[in-house]
Structure 1
Amino acid sequence: MKGRKNSSLLGRLDKFQRLFFVALLSVLAVGAFAQSKTVSGTVLDKTGESVIGASVVVKGTTNGTITDFDGNFTLQNVPDNGTIQVSFVGYKTVDVLVKGQSTIKVTLEEDTETLDEVVVVGYGVQKKSDVTGAMARVGSEELNTRPVNNAFEALQGKAAGVDITSSERPGTVGSIRIRGNRSISASSDPLYVVDGVPLSAGGIETINPRDIESIDILKDASSTAIYGSRGANGVILITTKRGKAGRLALNYSGSVTLETLKDKSPAMSASDYITWRRWAYYNSDPVNNPRGDQPNYDKDQIYFAASGDPTALANVNKGWNNGSWDGSRVTDTDWADIVTQTGITHEHTISGSGGNETAQAFFSVGYLNNQGTQKGQEYERYNFSMSVDLQVKPWFKMGGSINGSWAVQDYGYSRTGQSSGSGPVDIYSAAKAIPRFGVPYDEEGNIITNPCGSTTNVYTVIDEWNKSTDNRQTFRALGSFYGQFDFGKMWAPLEGLSYKISFGPDFRHYRQGIFISKDSAVKMGSKNYAKYATDRYLSWTLDNQINYNKTFGKHNLGIT
């Protein structure tokens, strides 16, 4: 009886504790609910007009909404001591303390610094607030937020409506599309303009990203019209860095990165492949062949001996022991691992800038070494850039810039010279095509030409990076020279009238040397292949511009 009374008392205490915690949690929940509220309001500009689509969020959270056509908004679950942040493109961001308020009114002010920012358009510059065409700008800070090999990668993900695909092969660039493909059969590449010089061939892959001051992207017809049909796919304007008045400043920037390949579609293991082959034979003749999940030693001797490689068959037989099958005993060769490596990239740039009110200069030298994640692929580039601006007379200014590069690319595995257009285009794909039950060496350590048998038409990739060479060298020099006369400073009645002459040469020399051994996986069983090609290209642009810019009260007149 005494034991029962103690048990009953403990039961009552346990119920009391549960009721107490439930009541406590209810009080805390009510208290938490009471500390948040619904806040509504209106967002206007300085003239009293509604701001449509303004972002309204609880600062420090993802709880937010946007204003409607009347500039109104309603935001729920706002803490009593919280802060509401209101922002809109072209306006300064405003923070409003709630402090018990349920209704607020927010007036946004124009961000004059943003609207007055100068952007490159056509053959001149304008304020961003005056530009009506669709365009985007990426500055030097954004371009150098992460280590990249070329300007394409630096631009990737920085501008809306601009799609950039990258290439895993060092020294090879992908494609860039502004608002998608513009043609079915013709080129969809945009026009590149470097320091006012339109490029007739190639892109901006040879320019050191650290030498770029800004990239302006012109997307639609109104902003690209000045370039005519050449700007049909959009225009990418590159402005390189120039000297600034002040004492000489020396800068160093560099980075080291490591890269590895992530296999998104791993190949079947040796054991899985053998089972798959068994099922294939079963499905070809279900009456006479055993099921794939019911291995048979005698049938395996028929299935895999037919491939013609005794080493591969011997590897399969490793899985048999006293009439029982264990696939884990079969050697599993990871061919992809044989041809891949940790890619190491390091780049270094030394630059200097300085000058006074009458002369400014800038220079930089850069080096990039990009070792690929696939063996046999490497890219090395040297860059040099220099610019000088001189205010010779109050009415005459002149200057110029040169951007040069020397690049050497080891392209790696290539199907150049192969009569058939099908097959793997890189060594990684060639390795993935070899079933993993094939082994690379025989018992004497010799390379096996057909790891899975002569009938499979699959060749080894062992030492492939020494059997084929595709070396490509490119030298490119871009120049931009100008002279500008300000007639208004020569004679007051001509104020606003100026003349500018610009000359931009573009020189490129390209050399390619290829040798593919007959023992290569590409030319197996054929003859050696060799090729040598050179290409030299020179173009120039000569511009003569007369500009008239005059301000009449609140009105601006600009004529080119």
Structure 2
Amino acid sequence: MNQKFKTALLLLILPLLAVAQSVITGTIKDASTGLPVPSASVLVKGTSNGTATDFDGNYTLNNVPDGAVIVFSYIGYTTQEVAYTGQSTIDIALAEDPSELDAIVLIGYGSIKQENVTSAQETIKSEEFNKGAITSPGQLIAGKAAGVQVTAASGRPGDGPVIRVRPGSTLSGSQDALYVVDGVPLDQSNASLNSINPNDIESITILKDASATAIYGNRASNGVVLITTKKANFSSDLKVRYDVQFAVEKVDNNTDVLTGDEFRQMVADQGRDTSILGDANTDWQDAIYQNGTRAIHNLTIEKGYDNTSIRASLGYNNEHGTLQRSGYERASLSLNVIQKLLDNKLKLTFTSQLAQEEIRNADTGAVGAAVVFDPTQPIFSGSDLYGGYFEYTNSTGIEPNAPRNPLGLLNSLDSQLDNYQARLNMNAEYKLPVKGLKFTGNAGIDYNEFDSYSLRDANSGGR
């Protein structure tokens, strides 16, 4: 009887669920031409549930709740909002937004008005960047550009996110985009966006289509990320600004493992010898993790004259990771100078970024060891062997088939990577006598020097 009741109740609930979450289809077109608008955004307002139109302007939006507001948008067009009241089809005609068409955007080989852009590109300005104690420039645009994936490479301090502009066409080759900072393409084999202070970035433009390869060659086959740094305005007052940001990180969810008491009880219940077990109750995951801290300091000075603008900034970042002995430090110095000459016919722009990075590496093997190491054993053995840490041993030394003490792994390793970076660029722009025609020359250098070492305590028993 109970089974029949449950079946009847399920049949009653299923139609209600189907009504509550609906599917909307439709087409988005240009209001003036009637042509379809591809890659337009369709989003349920206030949520991350959205989609984009295909080449013919068609879209399908799933899981739309009753009473939701659907937002239709595209660069250069006025955004429209439509209340959902059960419609199965919503067709939209987007009108051009004149204020958007006058915006100046970068296209790799120069800058033009938004209304004249024919390539697939997207620009994120500083006021649109993600906020917070951000270390890497990639974190500024996470979730800000359609179709661009920004994912964390690892949890290690100093590791910037991986940026994918479009899916790669190779299984073994690099799928990284080409990074260009103030006109200087970075060496893809050693490109380190973390050496750039996020506080110095004015905008990030992403070139998505294959037209970028006509400028930068096959290096741009996976897309291009153009980074423009901040400059001072002409005829502006002296500005001095200092700001500091502080953040705390902690590990919220550890792997669920047995406590020492639970492990001893399990062994006893199975009728096995408990004499080899210890008397401790050690939470190894709690022992290797700590509250991570991040402090970011920035000092900026800028001044603008009639024909000269100067901006200088000094930044310092100090981060302690959630895994003990992991950390990251960066000191950066930038200088941007613009000088106009010859009655404003000639404009010289000099930009420079200097940075020193220090990445302190922890033994990540401690993370796995903390999950499987015996919780009945203490952290320290009471002897001087193996740095004083408890280890499983045999007649010849450490037992090779047993896991190592997690804290012993962390504290016996001293590993560090240093990066010294210098990026300089000089740009000259001269207006020729022919109206609208100008000559532009650009020269730059991107220099990186890496030093690293890794030392294991000789008394740790090796690894």
- Please report the TM-score for the alignment, with normalisation by the length of structure 1: 0.65
In the alignment, is the contact (CA less than 8 A) between 1:165 and 1:176 conserved in 2?
A: yes
> Of the candidates 112, 117, 127, which is equivalent to residue 131 of structure 1?
117
What residue is the counterpart of 1:31 in the other structure?
none
Equivalent positions of 1:259-408 (< 5 A) are 259-274=249-264, 278=267, 294-296=269-271, 299-301=272-274, 312-315=276-279, 331-394=280-343, 395-408=345-358
The two structures, once aligned, show a CA RMSD in angstroms of: 4.0
2:421 to 447, 470, 476: 476
Shift of residue 84 of structure 1? 8.4
Amino acid at match of 2:77: Y
The match for 1:501 is 441
- Does residue 243 of the first structure (1) align with residue 228 of the second (2)? no
Task: Please give the alpha-carbon distance, in whole angstroms, between the structure 2 residues aligned to 1:229 and 1:62.
Answer: 34
1:59-90, CA deviations, whole angstroms, 9 ceiling, x for partnerless residues?
Answer: 999999999x999xxxx9999xxx98875323
Cα drift, residue 353 of structure 1 = 2.4
Partner amino acid, structure 2, of 1:407: E
Q: Distance in 1 between matches of 2:325 and 2:239?
A: 40
Of stretches 433-442 and 57-66 in structure 1, the one that deviates more from structure 2 is: 57-66
Structure 1 residue 342, shift from structure 2 partner: 0.4
Following superposition, the deviation at residue 235 of structure 1 comes to 1.0
Deviation at 1:119, TM superposition (A): 1.5
Match for residue 206 of structure 2? 217
In structure 1, distance between residues paired with 2:440 and 2:459? 60
8 Å Cα contact 1:243/1:355 also seen in 2: yes
Task: Indicate yes or no: 2:446 matched with 1:459.
Answer: no
- 1:134-153 equivalences under 5 Å are 134-153=120-139
- 1:450 equivalent in alignment to 2:440: no
Q: Which runs of 5+ in 2 are unaligned?
A: 1-26, 59-63, 84-90
Displacement of 1:314: 4.4
1:265, CA displacement in angstroms? 2.8
Letter in 2 for 1:196: G
Q: Does 1:158 align with 2:144?
A: yes
- How far the C-alpha of 1:401 sits from its partner, in A, is 0.8
TM-score (norm 2): 0.77
Secondary structure at the counterpart of residue 389 of structure 1: strand
State the 1:93 CA deviation.
Answer: 4.1
Separation in 2 of the partners of 1:187 and 1:60? 36
Please tell me the residue identity of whatever aligns with 2:368.
Answer: S
Does structure 1 conserve the Cα–Cα contact (< 8 Å) formed by 2:347 and 2:428? yes
- Which of the numbers 168, 171, 174 marks the counterpart of 2:158? 171
Partner AA of 1:233 in structure 2: N
Where 2:119 maps in the other structure, the secondary structure is: coil
Which residue identity is paired with 2:336?
Answer: S
Per-residue Cα deviation, 1:496-521 (whole angstroms, up to 9, x for no partner): 33222211011222221221113337
The residue type equivalent to 1:217 in the other structure is I
Residue pair 1:122, 1:224 contacting (<8 A) in 2 also: no
User: In 1, distance between residues paired with 2:106 and 2:237?
Assistant: 27
Alignment-mate amino acid for residue 181 of structure 2: V
Given the superposition, is the C-alpha separation of residues 342 and 59 from structure 1 closer, same or farther in structure 2, using an over 3 Å criterion?
A: closer
* Counterparts of residues 99-114 of structure 1 (less than 5 Å): 109-114=95-100
Q: 2 CA distance for matches of 1:480 and 1:360?
A: 16
Shift in Å, 1:354: 2.6
CA distance in 2, matches of 1:46, 1:461: 64
Is 2:429 the partner of 1:440? Answer: no
Alpha-carbon distance in 2 for matches of 1:86, 1:195: 35
For residues 29-74 of structure 1, give each alpha carbon's deviation from its aligned partner in whole angstroms, at most 9, with x where no partner exists.
xxxxxxxxxxxxx99866484887999999999999999x999xxx
* Mapped partners of 2:240, 2:262: distance in 1: 60
Change (3 A) 1:267 1:131: farther
Offset, 1:495: 2.3
Q: Secondary structure at the match of 1:229?
A: helix
1:412 to 362, 366, 372: 362
Indicate how the Cα distance of structure 1 residues 224 and 433 shifts in structure 2: closer, same or farther if over 3 A, else same.
Answer: farther
- In the TM superposition, residue 397 of structure 1 has moved relative to its aligned partner by 1.6
Comparing 371-380 with 133-142, which one deviates more in the overlay? 133-142
Q: Secondary structure of 1:427's match?
A: helix
Contact 1:192/1:203 (8 A) holds in 2:
no
Deviation at 1:338, TM superposition (A): 1.1
* Aligned CA distance change for structure 1 residues 210 and 314 (closer, same or farther; 3 Å): closer
Cα offset for 1:131? Answer: 2.3
Name the CA shift for 1:313/1:66 in 2 (closer, same or farther; >3 Å).
Answer: closer
Q: Supply the AA of the counterpart residue of 1:231.
A: A
Q: How many angstroms does 1:295 deviate by? A: 4.0
Counterparts of 1:66 and 1:508, CA distance in 2 = 40
How far apart are residue 274 of structure 1 and its match?
Answer: 4.8
Cα contact 2:381–2:390 (8 A) shared by 1: no
1:197 deviates by 0.7
Query: Aligned pair in 2 of structure 1 residues 183, 45: CA closer, same or farther (>3 Å)?
Result: closer
Give the share of equivalent positions with the same residue, in percent.
Answer: 30
CA distance 1:274–1:362, shift in 2 (3 Å): same
| Higher mean C-alpha displacement, 262-271 vs 163-172 | 262-271
Residues in 1 aligned to 2:104 and 2:208: alpha-carbon distance in whole angstroms: 18
Residues 177-234 of structure 1 show CA distances to partners (whole Å, capped at 9, x for unaligned) of: 2223331111111111110111123132200011011111112212443211111111
2: distance between equivalents of 1:84 and 1:472?
50
Segment drifting more, 363-372 vs 126-135: 126-135
Residue of structure 2 equivalent to 1:428: 367
- Residues 289-317 of structure 1 show CA distances to partners (whole Å, capped at 9, x for unaligned) of xxxx8443xx325xxx6xxxxxx5343xx
User: Structure 1 residues 272, 451: CA separation in 2 closer, same or farther (over 3 Å shift)?
Assistant: farther
Alpha carbons of 1:214 and 1:520: their partners in 2 closer, same or farther (altered >3 Å)? farther
CA distance in 2 between partners of 1:194 and 1:155 (Å): 16
After TM superposition, list the pairs within 5 Å mapping 1:114-125 onto structure 2. 114-125=100-111
Report if aligned partners of 2:367, 2:406 keep a CA contact under 8 Å in 1: no
Say if 1:258 and 1:500 are closer, same or farther in 2 by CA, change over 3 A: same
Q: Is the 8 A contact 1:144 1:210 kept in 2?
A: no
Contact 2:70 2:82 in 1 (8 A): yes
- How far apart in 2 are the matches of 1:231 and 1:383? 28
